[in-house]
Amino acid sequence: MSKRTIIPFGPQHPVLPEPIQLRLVMEEERVVEALPAIGYIHRGLEKLVEKKDFNQCVFLAERVCGICSFLHSVTYSQGIEEMMSVAVPDRAKFLRLIWGEIHRVHSHLLWLGLLADSFGFENVFMHAWRCREKVLDLMEKTAGHRVMLGTCCVGGVRRDITDEGLAEVLRVVDELQKEFDEFVPVVLNDYSIKQRTIGVGKLTKEQAAELGAVGPVARASGIARDFRETGYAAYGQVGFKIVTATSGDCYARIQVRCGEMYECLEMIRRAVKALPAGAINVAVKGNPSGEVVSRVEQPRGEVVYYLKGNGTKNLERMRIRTPTFANLAPLLAMLPGCELADVPVIVLSIDPCISCTER
Amino acid sequence: MLNNELPVTRDTLLNEVAARRHQGYRFVTVTCVDLGDRFDIVYHFDKDYVLHNLRLSLGRTEELPSISPIFFAAVLVENELKDLFGIPVTDLAIDYGGRFLLSEGSPVAPQRKPDATPAQPAQPTDGAVK
């Protein structure tokens, strides 16, 4: 047996947008074992819920993550609405879907840029982020903010999208489709990208199921599971196709996310065309009481909110299980056997979001 | 009370969890609620988009058996319970020694409500994992 050494990967590393450390047990250039160490950005957000009004906690939930922020507020709001038996107007459900899918496109483009950066493909990085700027601009035009939209509330949404705004959404969606048609085939067929990702960081279907993988990580291993299938918000009315791949490697995770970006655009188009008229929220009276578990499919996978109310304005408990938290155990199964140079690519392939993992 | 909930005890927990695994459930997460005089530990499992929950009522000084030998994915959240609530979890597949989310100098068990039997501070491990 070769001599084993331990290499700390992170918490500060050029490819890591957020701090996480992986302690890599190496035999020469090959990883034989990995152990994650987090705790650099734990904020105690779950504890803060005990001090805030349950309506204020929508903003708190939105700040759990700086990338899929809107979807956190939707998950939280849906949970409180279920607890308080609030019927959300259809238009609000459609608007949640539209902003949610816009968020998914922005998140996947951000990830694609970071992944390309991890193996030095700067052109893809710049192109993906240039496209993402259009998505952020669209969010600003429709919601007034580029990332933290602040539009979701318990009982619906705070802000409507005007007819001009909807026309702008469709225009930007068409523009993005053209951009994707130009550069997604390049990403999927490029020789160097294939060399760096095919067969790298493999996670079999059995491992993904065993270790509780979620989102694109699970779907890239052949598990056709996507919580949008349950039809929450307006997904039941708009329709939705699950994108999967089977090889379970880094390339498959690129395939799934690229396919999902196209699917997002289609869903946004259908939702804009089918957007019903009417109110965008309802008044919510009283305080939440009881327990619920609310789940939503975020860009990285299923997010879980456990909420417990005690009849006062303050919740007794809010517990958040983010998709990256669920994908840490699968990440540990992807790394053994890979070379040290592949570690950044494999880590980025799960699209890690550490600030929401630590909360 | 949640839908699809089954109460378990410390003696029946591992058998029930093993049964979920045998039936093809996916481990989702564990939630701990501090009720003041005891903890509610809720284990969430999923099959076909339906959650199934096991609820364990744990005394404030009792040890919690780890389910990580059955579902390895539970090891991180069980370390989190140990950090944030000061619950002693036994037989963890990987034990971070109370340094998973918290570091030296952090508040001890910050999500635990004050009680007559405060949690013991985690033993210093100088960052090493046992």
Report in angstroms the alpha-carbon separations of A68 from A65, A103, A254, A312. Answer: 6, 6, 19, 29
pLDDT at A13: 85
pLDDT reading at A41 higher than 90: no
Does residue A254 lie within any of the structural domains?
Answer: yes
pLDDT attached to residue A12? 85
Q: Would you state the pLDDT for residue B123? A: 56
* CA distance from start to end of chain B: 37
- Residue A258's SS3 state is helix
Strand bridging mode B5-8 / B50-59: parallel
The residue type at A125: F
Nearest one of A97, A93, A56 to A268, comparing CA atoms? A97
CA distance A233 to B86: 38
Tell me the residue type at A253. R
Report CB contact under 8 Å: A212, B51.
no
Q: What are the chain A neighbours of B112 within 8 Å (beta carbons)?
A: none
Q: Which residues contact B99 (CB under 8 A, 6 or more apart)?
A: A39, B83, B122, B125, B127, B129
Whether pLDDT at B129 is above 60: no
> Average pLDDT of B4-8?
92
Asked whether residue A143 is assigned to any structural domain, the reply reads yes
Starting at the edge strand that comes first in sequence, how are the strands of the sheet with A4-9 ordered? Answer: A4-9, A21-27, A30-37
Q: Is residue A15 part of a domain?
A: no
Going by pLDDT thresholds of 50, 70 and 90, the confidence category of residue B6 is very high
Cβ-based neighbours of A213, under 8 Å, separated by 6 or more = A203, A207, A221, A223, A301, A326, A327, A330
Q: How far is residue A145's CA from residue A42's CA, in Å, rounded to a whole number?
A: 26
> Using the beta-carbon criterion (under 8 Å), do A306 and B42 form an inter-chain contact?
yes
Helix (H) or strand (E) holding A98: helix A90-118
Our count of domains for chain A comes to 1
Question: Which positions in chain B touch A46 (Cβ < 8 Å)?
Answer: 111
Domain-located, residue A22 = no
Q: With an 8 Å Cβ cutoff, are A39 and B129 in contact?
A: no
Which structural domain range is residue A270 located in?
Answer: 41-352
HSE, side-chain direction, 13 A CA sphere, residue B126: 0
Among the residue ranges A18-27, A61-70, A333-342, B119-128, the one predicted with the least confidence is B119-128
Yes or no, beta carbons of B76 and A42 under 8 Å apart: no
Q: Is B29 in contact with A46 (Cβ distance < 8 A)?
A: no
**B103 neighbourhood in chain A, CB within 8 Å:** 39
Strand duo B89-90 + B64-65: pairing:
parallel
Residue in B with minimal Cα distance to A37: B100
CATH code (residue A56): 1.10.645.10
Q: Sign of dihedral through CA atoms B83, B85, B87, B90? A: negative
Q: Determine what percent of chain B is predicted with pLDDT higher than 90.
A: 62
Q: What is the pLDDT of residue B118?
A: 54
We report the CATH number of the domain holding residue B57 as 3.30.460.80
Report the chain B residue with the minimal C-alpha distance to residue A306.
B31
- Region A29-49: mean pLDDT is 87
Domain residue limits at B63: 1-130
3-state secondary structure A61-94: HHCCCCCCHHHHHHHHHHHHHHHCCCCCCHHHHH
Answer for the pair A234, A96: CB distance below 8 angstroms, yes or no: yes
Dihedral of the CA atoms A241, A246, A249, A250 (nearest 10)?
-20
CB A326 within 8 Å of CB A302: yes
Are the Cβ atoms of A35 and B94 closer than 8 angstroms?
A: yes
B116: confidence class by pLDDT, cuts 50, 70, 90: low
- Strand-strand pairing, A30-37 and A21-27: antiparallel
Q: What share of residues in chain B are helix, strand, coil (percent, to 5)?
A: 20, 30, 55
Whether A18 maps to a domain, the answer reads no
What is the pLDDT averaged over residues A2-19? 85
Q: In this structure, are residues A214 and A302 in contact, taking their beta carbons and an 8 Å threshold?
A: yes
Question: CA nearest A315 in B: which residue?
Answer: B33
CB contact under 8 A, A42 and B102: yes
**AA identity, residue A264:** C
Interface test with A, best of B41, B53, B76, B81 (most A CBs within 10 A): B76
Residues A271 and A235: beta-carbon distance below 8 Å: no
The tokens of A186 are what? 């390049």
Closest CA to A104 of A277, A350, A299: A299
Instruction: Kindly indicate the confidence band of residue B122, based on its pLDDT and cuts at 50, 70 and 90.
Output: low
A336, part of any domain: yes
Range A251-280 average pLDDT: 95
Number of domains in chain B: 1
CA-CA distances (angstroms) from residue A182 to A102, A123, A178?
20, 13, 6
| Span B46-71, pLDDT tens digits | 999 999 999 999 999 899 999 999 99
Q: Are A216 and A330 in contact (CB under 8 A)?
A: no
Q: Has residue A176 got a pLDDT over 80?
A: yes
